[in-house]
Amino acid sequence: MATPEEIERRVEEADAARSARRSAAAKRIGELAQHRAAIAEQLADIERDLGDVLAESSDVIDIEELARFTDLPVSDLTRWREARKTNRTRRKKPAARAAGAQNDTSRGQSAPRIPTNDQAAKPPEPAVPRGDTVNAPDRVAAEVS
């Protein structure tokens, strides 16, 4: 029968090999994740550049013509252009709101409706919650590492 010291030594030997493999796996995953993050950042920069060039050249060439010349799908070209517009819009909105632009009726707000043909004006009805969200659980933010 093995002594307690011998058992401890055997467990440590078995754990050492497993620990070395675990350490190697963790290091490799970390390296690959860093490499992926760098490439994702490069891709985002390229897509931003694509959107900028698409927007800048829209007065001389449209998406369909670009698609014919480049063999790129219209959907990709449109997505890159629209992503650029969305990002620009997001950055400008807070400044516009700070300047008091929220009351600007040129942004799609309609004028009050005036009753016609002897229709009596009705007070607005209270908002009714959508049926698909009444019992929906609250969203919980999750930390991603």
| 73 assigned to some structural domain | yes
How far apart are the C-alpha atoms of 129 and 134, rounded to whole Å? 7
pLDDT tier at 84 (50, 70, 90 boundaries)?
confident
The answer to the question of residue 80 being in a domain is yes
Q: Is residue 11 part of a domain?
A: yes
Residue 53 has pLDDT above 70, yes or no: yes
- pLDDT score of 7 more than 60: yes
What is the total count of domains within the chain? 1
Q: What pLDDT was estimated at residue 108?
A: 44
Q: Kindly state whether residue 87 falls inside one of the protein's structural domains.
A: yes
Mean pLDDT over each residue of the chain, to the nearest integer = 75
Q: Which of 45, 88, 87, 53 is nearest to 70 (CA)?
A: 53
Split at pLDDT 50, 70, 90, the class of 87 is low
Domain that holds residue 57: 4-100
CA angle 84, 86, 87 (to 5 degrees): 65
Beta-carbon contacts of 85 under 8 Å, excluding residues fewer than 6 positions away, are 51, 55
Asked if residue 28 belongs to a domain, the reply is: yes
At residue 85, the pLDDT reads 64
Residues 81 and 62: their CA atoms lie apart, in Å, by: 11
Residue 76 belongs to some domain of the structure:
yes
Output the pTM of the full model: 0.48
In a domain, 18, yes or no: yes
Of 77 and 132, the one with more pLDDT:
77
**Would 21 be classed as within a structural domain?**
yes
Instruction: Give the mean pLDDT of 59-79.
Output: 95
